C-alpha cells in the first residue's frame, strides 16, 4: 500500500468516523444528559457494537459478499426507522435534575450499531477499497479492523467528551440542542433511506 493510499484511507476514516452519525449523536446526547458515570455503559456499548459489526463485515466481505448486498437494503430501512425513533426520544428528552434518574444502557448502545447503516457502508467501503486489495488473509483483515474500531471508538469518546463539557449549556438550552441533534439524526435517517 502506497503512502498516498494510506493517506486517503486515513482521511476517509477520520471524516467518516468523526462526522455526526447515530452513534456519535447518541454519545453526545447521553453524556450531556447523564454525565460520564451514568453514560459510559452506553458509550462502551456503542464501541462494542461497532467492533462486532466490523468483525461481521470483515467475514462477509471475505467470504459472503453475495449474501450481504440484499441484507444492506433491508438494514437500510430498519436503521432509518430506528433513527427516527431515536430522534423522537431526543426531542422528548429533558435535562435530569437528579442524575440518578434515567437509563443509559450498554445494550442500547450495542444494538444501535447493528441498525446503524452508516457504519455498514463505511466499513464495507473501507474493506473493499482500501483493505482487501492489499491484505489477502482473514487474520490480517481482522488486525486492520482493530485499527478501524480504534478510530471509530476515539470518535465516539470525543463526542461523549463534548457532551460532558456541554452539560451546563444543555440544562439552559436543552430544547434548542435537542432540536439540532434530532434534526441531524433525522437527516441521517432520510439519507440512509433514500440510498
Q: Return the closest-CA partner of residue 193 out of 93, 65, 80, 41.
A: 80
Distance CA(154)–CA(79), nearest Å, equals 23
Q: Return the closest-CA partner of residue 80 out of 22, 28, 120.
A: 22
For 36, residues 6+ apart whose C-beta sits below 8 A from its C-beta are 160, 164
Residue 36, C-alpha cell as written in the block: 460520564
**Residues 7-24: pLDDT tens digits?**
878 877 887 788 777 888
Residue 100 has pLDDT above 60, yes or no: no
Predicted confidence at residue 52, as pLDDT, reads 93
**Residues 129-164: pLDDT tens digits?**
778 888 888 899 999 999 999 999 999 999 899 888
Predicted confidence at residue 194, as pLDDT, reads 73
For 53, residues 6+ apart whose C-beta sits below 8 A from its C-beta are 113, 114, 116, 119, 120, 123
Distance of CA 105 to the CA centre of its chain: 15
C-alpha dist (Å) from residue 27 to 44, 110, 118: 10, 12, 15
Element (H, E) at 160: helix 138-165
Predicted confidence at residue 28, as pLDDT, reads 87
Asked if 31 contacts 160 with a C-beta cutoff of 8 angstroms, the reply is: yes
**Residues 158-185: pLDDT tens digits?**
989 988 887 778 778 878 877 887 787 7
% of the chain at pLDDT higher than 70: 86
Reported as a pLDDT band with limits 50, 70 and 90, residue 192 is: low
Q: What is the CA radius of gyration of the chain?
A: 17
Amino acid at each position: 500500500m502506497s503512502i498516498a493510499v494510506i493517506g486517503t484511507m486515513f482521511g476517509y476514516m477520520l471524516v467518516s468516523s468523526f462526522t455526526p452519525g447515530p452513534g456519535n449523536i447518541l454519545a453526545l446526547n447521553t453524556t450531556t444528559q447523564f454525565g460520564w458515570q451514568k453514560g459510559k455503559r452506553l458509550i462502551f456499548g456503542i464501541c462494542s457494537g461497532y467492533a462486532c459489526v466490523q468483525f461481521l463485515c470483515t467475514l462477509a466481505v471475505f467470504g459472503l459478499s453475495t449474501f450481504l448486498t440484499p441484507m444492506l437494503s433491508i438494514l437500510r430501512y430498519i436503521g432509518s426507522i430506528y433513527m427516527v425513533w431515536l430522534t423522537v426520544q431526543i426531542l422528548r428528552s429533558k435535562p435530569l435534575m437528579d442524575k440518578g434518574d434515567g437509563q443509559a444502557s450498554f445494550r442500547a448502545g450495542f444494538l444501535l450499531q447493528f441498525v446503524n447503516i452508516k457504519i455498514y457502508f463505511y466499513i464495507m467501503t473501507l474493506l473493499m477499497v482500501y483493505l482487501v486489495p492489499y491484505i489477502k488473509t482473514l487474520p490480517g483483515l481482522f488486525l486492520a479492523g482493530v485499527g478501524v474500531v480504534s478510530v471509530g471508538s476515539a470518535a465516539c469518546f470525543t463526542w461523549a467528551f463534548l457532551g460532558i463539557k456541554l452539560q451546563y449549556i444543555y440544562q439552559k438550552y436543552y430544547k434548542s440542542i435537542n432540536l439540532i441533534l434530532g434534526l441531524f439524526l433525522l437527516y441521517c435517517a432520510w439519507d440512509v433511506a433514500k440510498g
